[in-house]
Chain A
Amino acid sequence: MNSARSAILARIRHCSDKQSDVAQARLLAPSIHEQPLLKADLLTQFTEKVEKSSATWDSVSEYNTIPSAVFEFLTQHQLPLEVIIERQLTFLSWPEVMTVAYRRPQSQDSTSVNIAFAGIAETGSLVMRSQPSSPTTLNFLPENHIVLLEKSNIVAHIEAIWPRIRLQALPRTINIITGPSRTADIEQTLQLGAHGPKRVHVILVDTPLG
């Protein structure tokens, strides 16, 4: 393995000797290339793009009203009143008819709820960081994914999240999620819910968590 490494690196260095300074400078000061123009304010652009990605959204004033917003979503779609929730949200009190669990999701779990690290107005995307309290499988295994996003965490372009990501050690996984899972592999016909969630629902929160 090591001989392959040195042989490959020797060939690369032979051709790009002078360019190693350029690469070093780029690594030290990451530069942003062209970005698409935003057509509206952050919130309007974000929600329009969320809808375009076949996801849905709702808005609440504070965290305490989230359980009722989740309950409403579940009943509206006639889903089981069972949710798997990320552990940062244990302080919320849920309606008694609902079953809530704070654990790693299983394949048959119907709905998950977790908090987004950021939202991207450019594309209507949600940025999820894997953490002990919020495992990656919450984003993928259940058929319904409810994501909480504080309005102040909506940024204009994808690049805006990188300086914030660099402030901490990188997590195992960063997922940038834009709408539900989809495939067009049979006769180029779009179908939602290929392997991941069939529904993605964003709940925007006005007041950030203290």
Chain B
Amino acid sequence: WAETPESACEQVISLCATAEAQRVLKSKSMITEEISLNPALVQAGFEVIETDLGEYIIQLAQEPPSHIIAPAVHKTKEQVAALFYQYHQDYGFKDRLSDIPQLVAQARQVLRQKFITADVGITGANFLIAETGSVVLVTNEGNGDLSATLPRMHIVIASLEKLVPTLEDATTLLRLLGRSATGQEITAYTSFFTGPRRTDDIDGPDEFHVILVDNGRSALLGSAFHEILYCIRCGACLNHCPVYGAIGGHAYGWVYPGPMGAVLTPLLLDLQTTKDLPQASSLCGRCEAVCPLHIPLPKLLRQLRIQHYQHHITPLSTRWALALWGFVAQRPGLYQALTQIKIKLLGILGRHRGAFSYLPLARHWTYSRDMPAPTGETFMHAWKKKQKEDS
């Protein structure tokens, strides 16, 4: 049990120390990114090797993942070849490779040596099963299984919301996970680990430890943000988000990108330093439409904006503007009169050019584009006129 990232890291380090470990393997895990386990282990003197190919590539590049399913999706094969050329010299691979099968084969050879000589294997968990005490791990490469089987100690780090009641419940979620994450009905490997090797087994770890990490999740239970705890980290909301598509995963500033990250990051860190995340959305709703767990992500983003307002994180000018707009919008007569004046004025001012390249209070908007001039009539005005004509 660990309430904080620091406590989780300390417990992992002390387990690695009791195993007298030197080389520690890791299978791709978002919770270990969240608690910054790798730097903590390196600082404690352990050699840490990421074994998922994508994670291995970005570990060599010393970058954080840009996608929760495909962490190195931003790297080209030439960039990967350059990294392997730089770091694989010591293993006797002196040539620069050019095609993907060769790169995968070389990574397999380098990492296979690490697998058979490692002391501790650290994995995350896609699900935890209450009924049996099992840990479910999903991979396509088989790196998770080798990490869990070859070293003498297997440490699982999982956040609380991974827990489901039964094997049947996990099965339902596995069906959703494969389809939403990679379009597969099931990944190549779906594995259920329960305890250490049995007395007569001839492989498997002697020790098996599970660290349950809270890091703010139990406080979300029953709160206005409860639904984000349903997230199974499939990445579908990232893949369909126009904002993620335009700015990429690194722009989100922490380990969880995309719509689920824009909701979860402020809740796990703090509202102030992450204040841009809930704002950087048009609330188009594609994330909610594709979420296999039907998490109302736009609603949660809106709730974060409400919290910004309540905690005075929203800038004063915006607060004033919103208050003014709110006052007017609640009075339809006043609203219509004011908009009519404004539209008529803009229509007259813009009638020659047909557009504005500068507008007061909207400098940032007009900085990169022109605002088309209105026709001089509001919708309500035109509607009323038409009604009158028809009658």
Interface centre among B54, B145, B196, B219 (most CB of A within 10 A): B145
Query: Judging by beta carbons under 8 Å apart, are B188 and A123 in contact?
Result: no
Nearest CB of chain B from residue A97's CB, rounded to whole Å: 27
Q: Enumerate chain B residues within 8 angstroms of A119, measured Cβ to Cβ.
A: none
Beyond A4-B1, A186-B100, whether A140 also contacts B188 by CB under 8 A is no
Beyond A186-B53, A187-B100, whether A4 also contacts B167 by CB under 8 A is no
Query: Judging by beta carbons under 8 Å apart, are B54 and A7 in contact?
Result: no
Pick the contact of B146: A2, A140, A184 (CB < 8 A).
A140
Considering the complex, which residues of chain A in the window 163-210 have a beta carbon less than 8 Å from any beta carbon of chain B? 165, 170-189, 191, 193-197
Query: Judging by beta carbons under 8 Å apart, are A30 and B169 in contact?
Result: yes
Beyond A16-B222, A170-B132, whether A104 also contacts B145 by CB under 8 A is no
Interface centre among A26, A27, A165, A195 (most CB of B within 10 A): A195
Q: Enumerate chain B residues within 8 angstroms of A175, measured Cβ to Cβ.
A: 145, 189-192
Q: Check: B165 CB closer than 8 A to any chain A CB.
A: yes
Query: Judging by beta carbons under 8 Å apart, are B185 and A30 in contact?
Result: no
CA distance A10 to B122 in the complex (A): 28
Query: Judging by beta carbons under 8 Å apart, are B131 and A27 in contact?
Result: yes
Query: Judging by beta carbons under 8 Å apart, are A132 and B202 in contact?
Result: yes
CA distance A170 to B171 in the complex (A): 17
Q: Enumerate chain A residues within 8 angstroms of B195, measured Cβ to Cβ.
A: 170, 172
Q: Check: A158 CB closer than 8 A to any chain B CB.
A: yes
- Smallest Cβ-Cβ distance to A143: which chain B residue: B108
Query: Judging by beta carbons under 8 Å apart, are A172 and B194 in contact?
Result: yes
CA distance A34 to B111 in the complex (A): 39
Pick the contact of A194: B116, B142, B193 (CB < 8 A).
B142
Considering the complex, which residues of chain B in the window 70-126 have a beta carbon less than 8 Å from any beta carbon of chain A? 70-73, 75-77, 80, 100-101, 103-105, 107-108, 111-112, 115-116
Query: Judging by beta carbons under 8 Å apart, are B141 and A165 in contact?
Result: no
Query: Judging by beta carbons under 8 Å apart, are B112 and A172 in contact?
Result: no
Query: Judging by beta carbons under 8 Å apart, are B103 and A186 in contact?
Result: yes
Considering the complex, which residues of chain A in the window 128-162 have a beta carbon less than 8 Å from any beta carbon of chain B? 130-132, 135-137, 139-141, 158-159, 162
Nearest CB of chain B from residue A157's CB, rounded to whole Å: 8
Pick the contact of A23: B77, B134, B165 (CB < 8 A).
B165
- Smallest Cβ-Cβ distance to B51: which chain A residue: A195
Beyond A11-B218, A139-B145, A186-B103, whether A194 also contacts B140 by CB under 8 A is yes
CA distance A136 to B76 in the complex (A): 35
Query: Judging by beta carbons under 8 Å apart, are B131 and A178 in contact?
Result: no
Pick the contact of B72: A14, A32, A36, A185 (CB < 8 A).
A185
Q: Check: A75 CB closer than 8 A to any chain B CB.
A: no
Pick the contact of A184: B70, B172, B192, B202 (CB < 8 A).
B70
- Smallest Cβ-Cβ distance to A2: which chain B residue: B1
Total A-B pairs in contact (CB under 8 Å)? 218
CA distance A35 to B152 in the complex (A): 38
Q: Check: B143 CB closer than 8 A to any chain A CB.
A: yes
CA distance A30 to B201 in the complex (A): 30
Query: Judging by beta carbons under 8 Å apart, are B204 and A130 in contact?
Result: yes
Q: Enumerate chain A residues within 8 angstroms of B219, measured Cβ to Cβ.
A: 11
Beyond A8-B214, A158-B174, A174-B191, whether A182 also contacts B201 by CB under 8 A is no
Q: Enumerate chain A residues within 8 angstroms of B145, measured Cβ to Cβ.
A: 136, 139-140, 173, 175, 196
CA distance A23 to B164 in the complex (A): 9
Pick the contact of A183: B134, B140, B160 (CB < 8 A).
B140
Query: Judging by beta carbons under 8 Å apart, are B100 and A8 in contact?
Result: no
CA distance A125 to B187 in the complex (A): 10
CA distance A14 to B142 in the complex (A): 40
Query: Judging by beta carbons under 8 Å apart, are B112 and A107 in contact?
Result: yes
Query: Judging by beta carbons under 8 Å apart, are A186 and B169 in contact?
Result: no
CA distance A7 to B189 in the complex (A): 35
Query: Judging by beta carbons under 8 Å apart, are B108 and A195 in contact?
Result: yes
Query: Judging by beta carbons under 8 Å apart, are A172 and B191 in contact?
Result: no
Q: Check: B390 CB closer than 8 A to any chain A CB.
A: no
CA distance A162 to B202 in the complex (A): 25
CA distance A32 to B170 in the complex (A): 10
Pick the contact of A186: B3, B77, B189 (CB < 8 A).
B77
Considering the complex, which residues of chain B in the window 1-49 have a beta carbon less than 8 Å from any beta carbon of chain A? 1-3, 7, 11
Sorted from nearest, which 9 A-B pairs have the closest CB atoms? Answer: A196-B142, A15-B222, A185-B54, A194-B141, A132-B200, A30-B166, A11-B218, A185-B53, A33-B172
Q: Can you show 29 pairs from A to B with CB atoms below 8 A apart?
A: A8-B3, A8-B160, A8-B218, A16-B221, A27-B165, A31-B168, A33-B168, A36-B185, A125-B186, A125-B190, A130-B201, A132-B198, A132-B200, A140-B142, A162-B171, A172-B198, A175-B190, A175-B191, A176-B192, A177-B189, A178-B186, A178-B189, A185-B52, A185-B70, A186-B72, A193-B104, A194-B141, A195-B142, A196-B189
18 new A-B contacts at CB < 8 Å, known A107-B116, A180-B188, A191-B100: A8-B160, A15-B218, A27-B130, A53-B188, A135-B204, A136-B149, A141-B146, A159-B168, A172-B197, A173-B204, A174-B194, A175-B145, A175-B191, A178-B186, A183-B104, A186-B53, A187-B100, A195-B112
Q: Residues of B with Cβ closer than 8 Å to A?
A: 1-3, 7, 11, 51-54, 57, 70-73, 75-77, 80, 100-101, 103-105, 107-108, 111-112, 115-116, 130-132, 134, 140-143, 145-146, 148-150, 160, 165-169, 171-172, 174-175, 182, 185-198, 200-204, 212, 214, 218-219, 221-222
Q: Residues of A with Cβ closer than 8 Å to B?
A: 1-2, 4-5, 7-8, 11-12, 14-16, 23, 26-27, 30-34, 36, 49, 53, 103-104, 107, 122-123, 125, 130-132, 135-137, 139-141, 158-159, 162, 165, 170-189, 191, 193-197
